[in-house]
Structure 1
């Protein structure tokens, strides 16, 4: 089955599909652009105001508390 899919050009597994997508994204510069446009500005903002930053555990605790309070945003 795997050999037949290989010959046909069809991916042999979900993992192969993910790997192919990742390789394509790297080759096309998608990940590099995402890092420069979205990730690094957020990192820079956090680094500039470290006193506002919280740990991941604290962030999840705040999210859980917000969800537990029944508050909903939007209209």
Structure 2
């Protein structure tokens, strides 16, 4: 995987999950710091182990919305 642009939130997640994997932090305390559930921390840990830091970014990033209007309708609406 090449370069990945990350938000501060994503970088913070990587820092906390790295602390959990190294044994300096518990899963429960990571959940409190990240303001998510223990179950979600465990899910993030699995993705972090498999895919590294790039696996933590949102999978829909860079894709268009499922609720977008087609270009013709959007162009027509912008005329008025």
Tell me if both proteins adopt one fold, taking TM over 0.5 as the criterion.
no
> What TM-score results when the alignment is normalised by the length of structure 1?
0.29
Structure showing greater Rg: 1
Structure with higher RCO (Cα < 8 A, 6+ apart): 2
> What TM-score results when the alignment is normalised by the length of structure 2?
0.27
